[in-house]
């Protein structure tokens, strides 16, 4: 226990590559008509680029392994988890960021993800501008009206169309990293015990996930939080415990994660024509990283420091050359290869504990 990895075994990585190959060569139709993405820097694909914030990364070496080596605003050397899930669902183009999405293409989905954003409005304000989950939902409400217009103004038709799509939501990391565990800038840790704080977050998250339902979502995957206490940034700030990680952060985050399965159960019980699933990032991220070829677990691949952009890569510094061996790209964010492990196991579970009560692939095929 304790070693943080987003690792999966080698055969899984090969099976993902094989699936991607199949999709590209057969040009198959996507399994669902659209894919909408809500979340933080783990999925942001450029929404923060024009905000005044420290949480933006549209400069090299970010994107060094992205097609064209382009720094798009993704917090990785290449693709993020949402990009890879989109490919696995059969989409041939990347889901556009909300900041620049326009035209008919929006009927296939939008990525609303924003670095620094959280469930709570105040979360991430230490970094500057960000698009909170409430605001992401409000943007989605406008998108739904636009889609109704693009589809001929028949709400019944659009409602049915949107019910077949996949929605992924991954929020809460910043409510810990850029809120609760930043006591000089936020008062939440003085007001709430970790248990109470997890309850506060879950209460608000429940409302937000229900709001998504009112905008037509019926197939929703909710991502659990990773082991934030194992990121290089937090270890250098707080110091590691015997586990190799900052135990108090992982323990607090686990209280939030423990409430997600009951949350999903509650939503499925109350909203009987919808299906919410829980992606258990804890089970996905633990395990033996060396089996997937990772050899560097705690140092970031790029030249990063907690003083610069809160652990992001310094601009224009050459990154490590053997990126397939690193779990972390910068002090917080995984490499593309680690993202591939998370995405492939959320899409197709490698263990019964990876997702509950089913994986994204099964959810996509489900007839509701």
Count the residues in the chain: 368
Q: Can residue 154 be called a binding residue for ligand NAG (CB under 6 A)?
A: yes
* Shortest reach from residue 115's CB to ligand NAG, in Å: 20
Residues 114-133 contacting ligand NAG, CB under 6 A: 122
DSSP, residue by residue, 126-159? TTB----HHHHHHHHHHHHHHHHHHTTS-HHHHH
Cross-strand bridge partners of residue 322: none
Q: How far apart are CA 142 and CA 15, in angstroms?
A: 38
The SS3 call for residue 111 is strand
Residue 6, classed as helix, strand or coil, is coil
Residue (6 or 47) nearer to ligand NAG, CB: 6
Q: Does 286 bind ligand NAG (CB under 6 A)?
A: yes
Beta carbons within 10 angstroms of residue 67's beta carbon: 10
Least distance CB 107 / ligand NAG (angstroms): 15
Crossing angle, helix 10-26 and helix 81-88, to 10 degrees?
Answer: 60
The residue within the footprint of ligand NAG, chosen from 5, 53, 282, 312 (CB under 6 A), is 282
Q: Between 298 and 337, how does the x/- string for binding to ligand NAG read (CB under 6 A)? A: ----------------------------------------
Instruction: Give me the least distance between CB of 164 and ligand NAG, in Å please.
Output: 12
Could you give the 3-state DSSP secondary structure of residue 304? strand
CB of 102 vs ligand NAG, minimal distance in Å? 25
Task: Show the site string, 189-228: x = touches ligand NAG by CB under 6 A, - = not.
Answer: --x--------------x---x------------------
58 versus 268: smaller Cβ distance to ligand NAG = 268
The residues that are catalytic are 41, 330, 333
Can residue 356 be called a binding residue for ligand NAG (CB under 6 A)? yes
* DSSP per-residue string spanning 168-179: EEE--HHHIIII
The site for ligand NAG, by CB under 6 A, has a size of 26
**Considering only residues 42-101, where is the footprint of ligand NAG by CB under 6 A?**
none
Q: What are the angstrom distances between the C-alpha of 140 and each of 17, 23, 212, 216?
A: 32, 28, 8, 10
Distance (Å, rounded) from C-alpha 235 to C-alpha 240?
A: 5
Closer residue to ligand NAG (CB): 199 or 247? 247
Q: Where are the alpha helices (DSSP H) in the chain?
A: 10-26, 81-88, 133-150, 155-163, 173-175, 188-191, 194-214, 232-238, 247-258, 260-270, 281-285, 336-347, 360-365
- Closest separation between CB of residue 122 and ligand NAG, Å? 5
Q: Minimum Å distance from CB 41 to ligand NAG?
A: 21
Closer residue to ligand NAG in complex, CB, 45/280: 280
Q: What span, in angstroms and rounded, lies between the C-alpha atoms of 141 and 231?
A: 34
Can residue 15 be called a binding residue for ligand NAG (CB under 6 A)? no
The contact set with ligand NAG (CB under 6 A) reads: 122, 154, 156-157, 160, 187, 191, 206, 210, 239, 241, 247, 261, 263, 266-267, 270, 280, 282-283, 286-287, 351-353, 356
């Amino acid at each position: 226990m304790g070693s943080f990895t987003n690792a999966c075994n080698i055969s899984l990585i090969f099976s993902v590559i094989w699936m991607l190959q199949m999709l590209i060569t057969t040009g198959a139709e996507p399994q669902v008509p659209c894919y909408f993405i809500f979340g933080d820097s783990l999925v942001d694909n450029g929404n923060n680029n024009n905000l005044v914030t420290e949480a933006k990364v549209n400069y090299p070496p970010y994107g060094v392994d992205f097609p064209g080596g382009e720094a798009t605003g993704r917090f990785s050397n290449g693709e993020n988890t949402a990009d890879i899930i989109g490919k696995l669902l059969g989409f041939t183009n990347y889901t556009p960021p909300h900041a620049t999405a326009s035209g008919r293409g929006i009927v296939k989905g939008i990525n609303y993800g924003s670095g620094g954003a959280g469930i709570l409005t105040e979360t991430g304000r230490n970094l500057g501008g960000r698009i909170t989950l409430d605001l992401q939902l409000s943007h989605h409400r406008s998108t739904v009206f636009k889609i109704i217009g693009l589809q001929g103004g028949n709400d019944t038709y659009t409602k049915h169309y949107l019910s077949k799509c996949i929605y992924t939501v991954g929020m809460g990391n910043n409510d810990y990293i850029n809120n609760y565990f930043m006591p000089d800038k936020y008062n939440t840790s003085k007001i709430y015990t970790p248990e109470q704080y997890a309850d506060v977050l879950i209460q608000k998250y429940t409302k937000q996930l229900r709001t998504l339902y009112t905008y037509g979502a019926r197939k929703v995957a909710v991502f659990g939080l990773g082991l934030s206490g194992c990121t290089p940034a937090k270890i250098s700030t707080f110091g590691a415990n015997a586990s190799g990680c900052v135990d108090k952060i992982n323990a607090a985050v686990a209280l939030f994660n423990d409430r997600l399965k009951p949350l999903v159960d509650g939503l499925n019980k109350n909203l009987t024509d919808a299906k919410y699933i829980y992606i258990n990032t804890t089970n996905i991220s633990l395990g033996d990283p060396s089996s997937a070829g990772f050899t560097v677990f705690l140092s970031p691949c790029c030249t990063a420091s907690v003083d610069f952009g809160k652990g992001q890569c310094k601009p224009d510094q050459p990154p490590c050359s053997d990126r397939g061996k690193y779990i972390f790209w910068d002090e917080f964010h995984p490499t593309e290869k680690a993202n591939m492990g998370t995405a492939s196991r959320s899409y197709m579970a490698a263990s019964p504990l990876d997702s509950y009560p089913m994986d994204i692939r099964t959810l996509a095929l489900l007839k509701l």
